């Protein structure tokens, strides 16, 4: 019998924390399409700031990456900086979010500090960032089973339910397995990242 991969173990650890996110009022409101606009506006502002540091995490890991994954991480940094941030600008225009004037709240500051510190090690950084990739892909796919009618929230769900995004998340999982991290350390970093993910829905 084949041993379970590190990434498969992370999925098992993460699933209850995905369920906790699905039960969070902010996510419930997105899924129904009736989340109060000021709440989503605040979330957009926080996530916009988060994604800039997420790009820095990818860039820091790219510097350490083996040759076969240098392109993966450069591509992820590029796609996050251009495609995902463009989505935020588009959504933000519809919700009146002040992206230029936004200031990190406690959850955003704690999460980005954790990611940037973890990225000092290639294997640690991959495990720490995986909750965002895998978690949002999983959330998107579940929410897309009964998507909101409201077009702005539907656009958000469609982005993270996209098969291309799922493929990127799977690629990170593969990279984690190839990095052969200490399983206990990878699991601890992943679990901490998932806890940050849940806390992030408590927008200022």
Q: Please report whether residue 36 resides in a domain.
A: yes
Place of tokens 């090690």: 121
Q: What is the pTM of this model?
A: 0.94
Distances (CA, A) of 56 to 6, 18, 24: 25, 25, 28
Please determine, for residue 113, whether its predicted confidence score (pLDDT) is greater than 70: yes
Would you say residue 40 lies in a domain?
A: yes
Find the CATH number of the domain harbouring 158: 1.20.910.10
Per-residue three-class SS string for the chain: CCCCCHHHHHHHHHHHHHHHHHCCHHHHHHHHCCCCHHHHHHHHHHHHHHHHHHHHHHHHHHHHCCHHHHHHHHHHHHHHHHHHHHHHHHHHHHHCCCCCCCCCCHHHHHHHHHHHHHCCCHHHHHHHHHHHHHHHHHHHHHHCCCCCCCHHHHHHHHHHHCHHHHHHHHHHHHHHHHHCCCHHHHHHHHHHHHHHHHHHCCCC
Domain count, the chain: 1
Percent of the chain predicted with pLDDT > 90: 93
Q: Rounded to whole angstroms, what are the CA distances from 82 to 15, 48, 86, 89, 115?
A: 29, 12, 6, 10, 20
Q: Which domain holds residue 186?
A: 6-200
Residue 63 lies in a domain: yes
Q: Is residue 169 part of a domain?
A: yes
Tell me how far apart the alpha carbons of residues 15 and 11 are, in angstroms, rounded to a whole number. Answer: 6
* Confidence band for 3, pLDDT divided at 50, 70 and 90: confident
Percent above pLDDT 70 for the chain: 99
- Provide mean pLDDT across the span 175-192: 97
**The predicted structure's pLDDT at residue 149:** 96
Q: Residue 197 in contact with residue 135, Cβ under 8 Å?
A: yes
Confidence of residue 2 (pLDDT cuts 50, 70, 90): low
pLDDT for the residue 83:
87
* Residue at 89 is within a domain: yes
Residue 1 lies in a domain: no
């Amino acid at each position: 019998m084949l041993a379970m991969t590190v990434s498969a173990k992370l999925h098992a650890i993460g699933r209850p924390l995905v369920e906790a996110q699905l039960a969070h009022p902010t996510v419930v409101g997105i899924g129904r399409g009736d989340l109060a606009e000021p709440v989503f506006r605040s979330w957009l502002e926080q996530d916009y700031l988060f994604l800039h540091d997420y790009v820095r995490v990818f860039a820091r890991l790219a510097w350490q990456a083996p040759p076969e994954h240098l392109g993966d991480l450069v591509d992820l940094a590029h796609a996050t900086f251009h495609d995902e941030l463009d989505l935020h600008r588009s959504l933000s225009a519809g919700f009146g979010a002040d992206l230029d004037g936004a200031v990190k709240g406690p959850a955003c500051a704690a999460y980005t500090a954790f990611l940037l510190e973890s990225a000092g090690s290639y294997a640690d950084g991959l495990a720490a960032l995986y909750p965002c990739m895998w978690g949002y892909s999983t959330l998107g796919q579940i929410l897309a089973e009964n998507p909101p009618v409201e077009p702005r929230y539907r656009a958000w769900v469609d982005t993270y339910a996209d098969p291309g995004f799922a493929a990127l998340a799977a690629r990170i999982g593969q990279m984690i397995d190839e990095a052969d991290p200490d399983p206990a350390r990878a699991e601890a970093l992943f679990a901490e990242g998932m806890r940050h993910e849940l806390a992030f829905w408590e927008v200022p």
